Amino acid sequence: MVTVNLADKNVVVVGMGLTGLSCVQFLLAQGANVSAMDSRSELSLSLDIPLYLGALDESRLSHADLIIVSPGVSLQTPALQYAIAAGVSVIGDIELFARFNTLPVIAITGSNGKSTVTQLVVEMCKAAGMRVLMGGNIGVPALDLLNISADIVVLELSSFQLETTQSLHALAATVLNICDDHLDRHGSLENYQNIKHRIYKQATYVVASRDDLATQPKGRAIDISFGLSTSQSGFSWDKVSASLHYEGKHWLSSTECLLVGAHNMLNIQAAAALAMLAGVHIHGIKQGARLFPGLAHRCQTISLHKQVRWINDSKATNVGATLAAIEGLADTCTGRLVLIAGGQGKGADFSPLSLLLNEKIDLLITLGKDGDKIAALKANSSQVSSLEDAVKLAAGYVQPNDTVLLSPACASLDMFHNYQHRGECFIQAVQQLAVQECSA
């Protein structure tokens, strides 16, 4: 923890979303002179501080003692670059949290799976009787967790949050995986990877994938590794017995777990490794792994109507997430596999999908802004204009034992409010199928 005195400091909070509002309340409690900015021209907020809307004011920013920038605001914004050049420190809420936090922290990032692993770790801690707090990029803003009595804090951290973080001392930290994501913001895969690796700086223990070199820290050892490859150290997967191994010995059978798919076996391994290193009792770790059912919009089975499994994986907003979903399900599907994909691609390269689309997917249905780019990877794919049309097309194709997977590989903002809205629309469309059949 860094000793910080914010009393009477002139602090500007940029971005008035949930995180920004949390920052304002925290800073006011510290006695800072707080003002806020938001690029939106209209904002309905009741704040007892100066609020400046529209284009960011370079002059005000450059005369601040400190700027707290929300994750959704790029550091490359000209007004922020102007302030940085003037010598003003620009940080995010996680950095501010790190400067005041006194509890042990488990820190989790990665392109995919970080919410599932974060919640898994929390469930493991709870099963072990620990008082645990969860926040960051999931649930509660990190600053809202300060001064709450607990044994440990589990944080999910995005690249946007890590970009402005320098002082976080995690007890155990991991980068789960790395794939093309947010390149429109970070510019290159290398820069994105370097930002993710900030989570390892000053961490006591490191957990990383044995099979993904991009997750492994440079210049320091991995304390516990995980992967689908065979290994006598760390966590591994035994395909023959469908079980998780630790240090080369049987640890937990996948049949005991509610989570399914190879990608979720990786998630369990990573969560267990983090929990072990943080001192969570082994019985709690196994109990949490067994009983956690998964998160909404993440490979979530929403219907088994007429023996067809419909899976909502709307949270798959990049190529890596969709690859993981297909790979995780393909070997367990007894029938055909239908994929619904497409949306706003964020500048991603869709070509890594090509092999699996042609080897594992029986019918590809695409929609959205960049749906045509995905459709071009597989012959005889179908393009539709709405999610409802995609569901209807899939329903007319499937038969018992088939699986329909919504795993877009894209962001949702071209057609929906967010990925949750997209998932809810998918659920409603699937539910409507049964209603229509009953009324026919």
Q: Which residues are catalytic?
A: 114, 137, 182
CA angle 413, 417, 421 (to 5 degrees): 115
Kind of pairing between the strands at 249-253 and 243-246: antiparallel
Structure tokens at 344: 């706003």
Contact 294, 328 (CB under 8 A): no
* CA–CA gap between residue 403 and residue 307 (Å, rounded): 9
| Residue 171: DSSP 8-state | S
Integer Cα distance of 68 and 4 in angstroms: 14
Both tokens of residue 316?
Answer: 């798959």
CA-to-CA distance for 113 and 271, rounded, in angstroms?
A: 11
What's the rounded Cα separation, in Å, for the pair 117 and 401? Answer: 29
CA–CA dist 323, 24 (Å, integer): 39
Cβ–Cβ under 8 Å, residues 142 and 122: no
Q: CB of 13 within 8 A of CB of 34? A: yes
Joined together, the tokens standing for residue 305 give 């109507």
Residues belonging to the chain: 440
E-assigned strand segments in 214-315 = 224-226, 235-238, 243-246, 249-253, 300-303, 309-312
Tell me how far apart the alpha carbons of residues 196 and 207 are, in angstroms, rounded to a whole number: 13
* Residue (of 419, 402, 405) closest to 299 by Cα position: 405
- Can you say whether residue 246 is alpha, beta or left, with left for phi > 0 and alpha for psi between -120 and 50 degrees? beta
The rounded distance, in Å, linking the Cα atoms of 111 and 176 is 7
DSSP strand pairing (10-14 vs 172-175): unpaired
DSSP string, 395-408: HHH--TT-EEEE--
- Look-up of token digits 């922020």: 80
Do the Cβ atoms of 212 and 177 come closer than 8 Å? yes
CA distance 261 to 258: 10
Q: 103: helix, coil or strand?
A: coil
